[in-house]
Amino acid sequence: MTPRVPLRPGQLAWLAEIGLDTHWLAERPAPAPAGTGAVDADAVDADAVDADAVDAGTVNADAAVETAARTGAGFRAPSPPVPAPGPTRVRAPAGLAVPPAPAADAAAPADCPDLAALDAAVSACRRCERHGQRVRAVPGAGEAVRPYYLIVGEQPGIEDDASGRPFQGDQGRLLAAMLAAARLPQGESAYLTHVVKCRAVGGREPSAQDIAACLPWLRRQIALLRPRWILALGRVAAQAVIGTDADLDALRGGPHRHVPGQGEPIPVWVTHPPSSLLVRSAWKAEAWRDLAGLAAAVREAEAAAPGTGADRVSSGRRPGSMPRPMVRGRWP
């Protein structure tokens, strides 16, 4: 039989660590976990361990490995105790406090007399399972008194969920750059919100049940804000605002109409959401044409009816017919 090649202490320790030491080292029961103050006599042979390897009842692992290598005695490093599994919880990001669950259901959207009441009701809403997965509800933010534009996204992003404000992070920066590049008239007068007010775990796409639960909040927001124009970002937002099941390619551009329960119809324009543009840069040219079409329609309506803004909308104008932007640089 071929004699064994002698192994150095470090090699023996490595074999013991990965559990491939049975051919080289004698199998012995594991010693008690460190910190118990006791040493299992079967785990470490007393004759194989030098006296200076033991200090106050605790085995010195390095000395024990070297001694075991010289004498052939076995050594196995103790494994930490495995804690019993506890209940699974969704943790908020560090530094953020999760608001406590409300004691009662939220007020009905129609019962909210103003945006402040609506925001509070949205934060207490339990209409769908998302209320248990969110960090914060994201009702909306921006110009609250008859804004020129209501900008509607699909659902909060991860930064929105953390802050309670819509269009934060890269999506918000891209949206701001898009609107600035398009030179929308009165572009600073805008209120921003989402169709679905809470983010689900993993950012999954809103289901039909999610949308149905949140749509009354959006309709009440529109009734309270009475915006002059609505910009819908993405398929979910466009379908919810317009009331259609058409796909995004068929809806992009405009004009479309949102018909509220009371009051005059509101013109609607549709384009890609910033979240899609961040991963599909080729769509930025399409989004530019959509927003350029909105800017042209707003200017035309203002010229036709000064002081009324969106009360009249150009018909038949599609985004592809808009002139190229008179701006420098490109969208980020």
Residue 15 has pLDDT above 90, yes or no: no
Inside any domain, residue 305: yes
291 and 243 both lie in a single domain: yes
Cα dihedral: 63, 65, 67, 68 (round 10): 160
Domain coverage including residue 47: 9-71
> What's 172's domain CATH number?
3.40.470.10
Inside any domain, residue 43: yes
Inside any domain, residue 64: yes
pLDDT tens digits for range 310-319: 444 443 333 3
Inside any domain, residue 94: no
Determine the pLDDT at residue 38: 39
Distance, in Å, from the CA atom of 177 to the CA atom of 186, rounded to the nearest integer, reads: 15
Query: Model confidence at 263, in pLDDT bands (50, 70, 90)?
Result: confident
199 and 301 both lie in a single domain: yes
Three-state SS sequence of 254-270: EEEEECCCCCCCEEEEE
Query: Model confidence at 10, in pLDDT bands (50, 70, 90)?
Result: low
Cα dihedral: 284, 290, 292, 298 (round 10): -150
- The alpha-carbon radius of gyration of the chain (Å, integer) is 32
Inside any domain, residue 82: no
Residue 98 has pLDDT above 70, yes or no: no
Total number of domains constituting the chain: 2
Inside any domain, residue 307: yes
The top-scoring range by mean pLDDT among 25-34, 40-49, 84-93 is 25-34
Tokens of 186: 């009165």
Task: Tell me if the bond preceding 255 is cis, omega within 30° of 0.
Answer: yes
Residue 30 has pLDDT above 70, yes or no: no
Point out the domain boundary residue: 71, 87, 117: 71
116 and 232 both lie in a single domain: yes
DSSP output for 278-307: TT-GGGHHHHHHHHHHHHHHHHHHHHHSTT
Determine the pLDDT at residue 327: 36
Average pLDDT, integer, range 229-252: 96
292 and 213 both lie in a single domain: yes
Inside any domain, residue 197: yes
60 and 119 both lie in a single domain: no
Tokens of 137: 């509800």
Query: Model confidence at 6, in pLDDT bands (50, 70, 90)?
Result: low
8 A C-beta contact, residue 272 and residue 234: yes
Residue 208 has pLDDT above 90, yes or no: yes
Inside any domain, residue 32: yes
106 vs 166, which has greater pLDDT?
166
